[in-house]
Structure 1
């Protein structure tokens, strides 16, 4: 019998359920049939090839599902292939297997019920199909599926078709359930209402005319349905009102044809007008949702806006049905499910509804740990059995979550629920035993290794476990065993020892806490942990111990602290060496440049400079002071290579105290700029000042210094400047202002490149501020400039040349001396100009 049913079912699926090919394909099929008549062997070969390909595809999908049963797309493709090939039993098994893991879409339920209706006959088949419809309408909100269910009962249930009292009662119950589920659907709900009224009107026709009492009851039932529908905001309420008026006219209750509300009670009219207002308020949201061109992202956001509006209206039934509409279209949106379940927990605390929604939420979004946690808490609120709670918890552990934090939350939620139910006085369940809590903790520890969770989470888990062992389980040895097991795995963490000690101290076990200190004070912990545990022990003995206990702790701790201090002292030079090497590497470019300048200057010194006995006796100690300034404490600029070594000519010329002045002039180091994050500005207006530049770059931000280049004699601007910035981002913003005007002139702004300047200086090009000389400054606006042939003193803008060397002096200085280079030549001084080295030798011989 079963074999015959399977064969008949396969034939029925092939005939009625396989999708018909397009028109062109059908024509091709006719040609193929003619060819089949001529060459039947080729047709049979083609069919066998198709069957082999289908079989191979089915086997592939079966292997994929065996490897990963949570592959949704593989389930869908497998069902489609089986449905096309006509494997009835395999198809049923595949659909049931998929439904165990995932909710099926309304379309899949319609296909399933349609297949079963075409395959089955008899009372047993009717019962199975009815169960399928019941399962389908509970998955997602679907008005078409409810409508199919209603039609199936009216056509297939004999008690309904014969209008027996049990059949009528069964259909009315089904209609009321359908109205509860979908009757508030603004767009599609009227379809259920109309089907309900048609059913009741059909029953009215079956009542005997002589049975006036029963007929009056049925008329009143139909009238009540009209009034209920007119009070609900639905599409095309005007048409419903006209149908109601027409029906009342058939009953002889309409006197005024031109009045829309003739024969309708005033309270119904008021409710109807309110329903129209509600519909108008929601029409904009419905229009947005009905737009077929809206993207899924925008559509989801429109649902959220609509839900926010419905929640503000305060009607839980309307909020619920809108959530059902939303999750039916976006079943894997975790935000919708989280919002839906949260709303139900706050407002509609109906146990069956909560179980249904949470079950569907966790089956659609298995990876959201928060949904599983809420599911367990919701079951506990509605006083679900331990069997239900345990089943949900075990299901949650089979899911894949993005992090181990979700698994930890699930374990703790499970323990929380067990603890609460076991702690309630007089309500302790017989099947609940503390062993359940211990087993849950043990599984959590095995599941979550120390490498997978943070130290705080690990300590929280074990501290909670140990506390419950001591307080709820009344087993102090087991509580200590919790910490001892953790110490075996994470004994290098100071926090574990301190938490263990804290538990013993909180319970008044002072001796046990002291013994733990004795075990761990000599261990090495990261950072300052070794010192911290020693000081913690001393503080513990001061607060809880006797004087002997304190003395013993001091005796134990003191050598340990000394040992740690020695070790720390030995490590400090290594750390300083590492830090200094890092600092040297970070400034290696600048120091290398400075050392090169110093080497170039020292290489030019004559041999006489290195021999003190060849140097002339100085009657003053000013030159010694200059030399001492460079050598003092081995930190001076001269010895460090930050400036060039003073030439010997400077020592000779410095015999004049008036030129050298006070030795405090030399105390301050010369200032050097590395221009690491600096903008170079040219084409400046001569009237521009530092303040103008500061204001010009104020919108860029990050300005740390502004250096306007001025003539060293006149003090006037040279039209050039350097602006230092705090970082490259602000510098890039400043460079972007290139060619913008300041005081009527377009500025040229570029990044300063000190390396290029150094190259020009080292190849002999004249570059101010690099190479040949050094200027020492002090706070009195007074400087001593040392060059390879000159030594001059400048106060303000008055420059006084010391010695007879004027050939290398600026023209302004030479004129102020009374003679110019041209005048010297006119006097007969036509000799060739001497180099710096020749001039130095000449001075030394004198």
Structure 2
């Protein structure tokens, strides 16, 4: 033994002593063995020897001495599992549980897989529901930590980890996990890298406000997040608005205005302007709303929504001239994102003000820019449905309207509406002769309007202009240019085109003859 052989040599010596029932000598050899080989294997063998001989106290001392002498570097999951199983065998359940917990706190997560598995089995056998849940949570923590080591920028794992800690309810651990998560800033200043990451901050802030009920810490979370975002390259309107809404809940309007003002200055967006204006309008600060609309339109002069809402604000305040001036500035812009909505709002405004002549001028100005079917139809319907002046005067004076004057005004309305439809039909016929479907749709609108005139209408005159619908076929080609057969479409033949009908019939007869000839050649 002075040559300090390996485990087999010491094992042979111990077995020799035990064959002659020399227990004390064997124990002395074990003492020399663990000094010569201070390993988990040697100490576990020593403890099992004591158990076999009924010395439970000595066996426990072996495990305790092993933990003490091997130190943290020599402690492994095999030692703790053996120690815990020893205590479990002798019904020392609480001792075993303490050993498992101590081991899980001191052994690196990557080296404790078997330890976790054994602990789960132990708790399922001896623990209560709370203990089992603690073990399961610990196992999931271990799994998340391993995944995070492999991929710290996988934010989905961080979300799951944070939710796990929130379900447990330990505030210190929750703060620690959230702080570790938000420390993993995306490596590139591109928005799509940040879109997932930013929700970590949002969840963190919501937890602090709703669960921890710490408004100051919530405020700090929003501030740190807004400092971190590279606003010159991209921004997140959601963060600005959530930070501002927090200040409203704290009843700090000054801070709310500072946040939204900074947002407009650093990263203006539609959502921010709309929310800021809405809040000031709720507070009744009209001058602030006007200034905000001016900044909004300086930033986005093509935004028809902003122009319409600004005009709507002035209209609600009874500022008719300001309202009209805003609409004039709006339609004068060289580029607009949805001009049709803006013109429609302006026309409806003038109609509501009873400015019929101004409305007509607006329609004419609009027709100078576009000859669209809907504009013509809207103009004609305006003339057809315009309120009678005689009727309005009679209501104001509290008398019955003069039937002769009322009839004269109605005839004038019918003539004006019919004149616009005629202009529209001629315009579409000359400027866009190929757009036959639009002309047919215009005639249908005209016919319906004439129906609405009752006895004053002339439906027959419009019916004579209606086209005849015919089904046609035209060749189609594939993407590579090769013929791909024929497709069917609807064509419109107007009365003025009826002179071309004989030629069309000749063409159709020629096509049928060619088709029959090709079929007979294939049969031959």
TM-score, normalising length from structure 1?
A: 0.33
C-alpha distance in 2, partners of 1:375/1:322?
22
Work out whether residues 541 and 553 of structure 1, in 8 Å CA contact, stay in contact via their aligned partners in 2.
yes
Aligned residue in 2 for 1:441? 293
Aligned residue in 2 for 1:721? none
Work out whether residues 386 and 413 of structure 2, in 8 Å CA contact, stay in contact via their aligned partners in 1.
yes
Structure 2 CA distance for partners of 1:277 and 1:417, relative to 1, 3 Å: farther
Structure 2 CA distance for partners of 1:633 and 1:305, relative to 1, 3 Å: same
Q: CA deviation at 1:294?
A: 1.1
Work out whether residues 244 and 256 of structure 2, in 8 Å CA contact, stay in contact via their aligned partners in 1.
yes
C-alpha distance in 1, partners of 2:280/2:324?
22
Work out whether residues 379 and 389 of structure 1, in 8 Å CA contact, stay in contact via their aligned partners in 2.
yes
Q: Show CA shifts across 1:712-737 (max 9, x none).
A: xxxxxxxxxxxxxxxxxxxxxxxxxx
Residue 480 (1) aligns with residue 324 (2): yes
Aligned residue in 2 for 1:774? 521
Aligned residue in 1 for 2:282? 420
Structure 2: gaps (5+ residues): 1-97, 106-126, 187-193, 393-405, 437-470, 485-502
Residue 462 (1) aligns with residue 326 (2): no
C-alpha distance in 1, partners of 2:102/2:138?
15
Q: Show CA shifts across 1:775-804 (max 9, x none).
A: 6xxxxxxxxx7x7xxxxxxxxxxxxxxxxx
Residue 360 (1) aligns with residue 224 (2): yes
Equivalent residue in structure 1 for 2:373, among 528, 535, 550: 528
C-alpha distance in 2, partners of 1:550/1:377?
56
Q: CA deviation at 1:484?
A: 2.3
Structure 1: gaps (5+ residues): 1-233, 242-271, 401-405, 423-432, 592-630, 644-668, 673-768, 776-784, 788-846
Q: Show CA shifts across 1:223-263 (max 9, x none).
A: xxxxxxxxxxx99965999xxxxxxxxxxxxxxxxxxxxxx
Residue 560 (1) aligns with residue 420 (2): yes
Residues 370-389 of structure 1 mapped to structure 2, 5 A cutoff: 370-386=238-254, 388-389=255-256
C-alpha distance in 1, partners of 2:283/2:218?
20
Q: How many residues align?
A: 320
Q: Secondary structure at the match of 2:301?
A: coil
Q: Show CA shifts across 1:383-441 (max 9, x none).
A: 1132x2332223223445xxxxx71111111111211223xxxxxxxxxx422111110
Residue 411 (1) aligns with residue 278 (2): no
Aligned residue in 1 for 2:201? 337
C-alpha distance in 1, partners of 2:294/2:223?
27
Equivalent residue in structure 1 for 2:177, among 309, 322, 329: 322
CA RMSD in angstroms comes to: 4.6
Q: CA deviation at 1:534?
A: 1.2
C-alpha distance in 1, partners of 2:318/2:505?
73
Structure 2 CA distance for partners of 1:289 and 1:309, relative to 1, 3 Å: closer
Residue 296 (1) aligns with residue 152 (2): yes
Q: CA deviation at 1:445?
A: 0.5
Structure 2 CA distance for partners of 1:447 and 1:641, relative to 1, 3 Å: same
Aligned residue in 2 for 1:511? 354
Q: Show CA shifts across 1:43-80 (max 9, x none).
A: xxxxxxxxxxxxxxxxxxxxxxxxxxxxxxxxxxxxxx
TM-score, normalising length from structure 2?
A: 0.50
Q: Secondary structure at the match of 1:329?
A: coil
Equivalent residue in structure 1 for 2:257, among 366, 372, 390: 390
Work out whether residues 245 and 256 of structure 2, in 8 Å CA contact, stay in contact via their aligned partners in 1.
no
Higher helix content, 1 or 2? 2
C-alpha distance in 1, partners of 2:130/2:165?
14
Aligned residue in 2 for 1:766? none
Structure 2 CA distance for partners of 1:324 and 1:503, relative to 1, 3 Å: farther
Q: CA deviation at 1:485?
A: 1.7
Q: CA deviation at 1:511?
A: 1.4
C-alpha distance in 2, partners of 1:313/1:671?
85
Work out whether residues 153 and 184 of structure 2, in 8 Å CA contact, stay in contact via their aligned partners in 1.
no
Q: Show CA shifts across 1:559-610 (max 9, x none).
A: 222111012223564457xxx9x9568499769xxxxxxxxxxxxxxxxxxx
Structure 2 CA distance for partners of 1:634 and 1:339, relative to 1, 3 Å: same
C-alpha distance in 2, partners of 1:279/1:531?
74
Aligned residue in 2 for 1:634? 506
C-alpha distance in 2, partners of 1:320/1:537?
65
Structure 2 CA distance for partners of 1:575 and 1:556, relative to 1, 3 Å: closer
Q: Show CA shifts across 1:161-196 (max 9, x none).
A: xxxxxxxxxxxxxxxxxxxxxxxxxxxxxxxxxxxx
Residues 712-723 of structure 1 mapped to structure 2, 5 A cutoff: none
Work out whether residues 517 and 537 of structure 1, in 8 Å CA contact, stay in contact via their aligned partners in 2.
no
Q: Show CA shifts across 1:256-303 (max 9, x none).
A: xxxxxxxxxxxxxxxx999866642322332134337412344x2221
